[in-house]
Amino acid sequence: MAQKILEKTVSFTGRNMRNSKKTKVRTWYGLDGTVIIGAGFMHKSGVENLIIPHPAVINWLLRLGLLENSATTLRINHEIGHLQSAPLAVLYTAANYTAIITANQVNLFNLILVFICTHAAWEIMSEILTILTDPQFYHKCYQGVSLVPRAIFWLSTISLTLIGWIMVLF
């Protein structure tokens, strides 16, 4: 599954993003996406002029123990995965919110829980796309690296996604 990379810039320097990696990609739905992987704990990604800064919590966990070049490549692919799966994530989120509204289960707790659970599902989608981008590279990167961080990721995101399904369906 090849990504159409439009541009890569090493050492992009922006406010608080020194020595960052910037990648531009054309999404399957036709919008130009931008991913900026910060040298610290922040990333920026989005489509067209909507670029959103966010902490790299999931990418940090998933890339623990990897060589820096491998980790950076997988971080970029993961963020591109978010851009590529965004329409599906939006539909999935809308369906979940519609279900709790239709079931008259609207309260602050449920609204926050649906947000968390649908975000977990989006993280799963993105990491699956990261793996599918280059499965051999992905598996090679993790040879000899502890399985614990990835197990935490998969168990927690799958559990949260299932909690969301249970809440919406019952």
22 near 2, Cβ under 8 Å? no
Per-residue pLDDT of the chain (170 residues; tens, 9 = 90+): 445 565 555 444 455 555 788 999 999 999 999 999 987 778 999 999 999 898 999 999 999 999 999 999 999 999 999 999 999 999 999 999 999 999 999 999 999 999 999 999 999 999 999 999 999 999 999 999 999 999 999 999 999 999 999 988 88
| Residue ranges per structural domain of the chain | 5-169
46 near 32, Cβ under 8 Å? no
Give me the torsion for CA of 76, 79, 81, 85, rounded to 10°.
-160
Three-state DSSP state, 154: helix
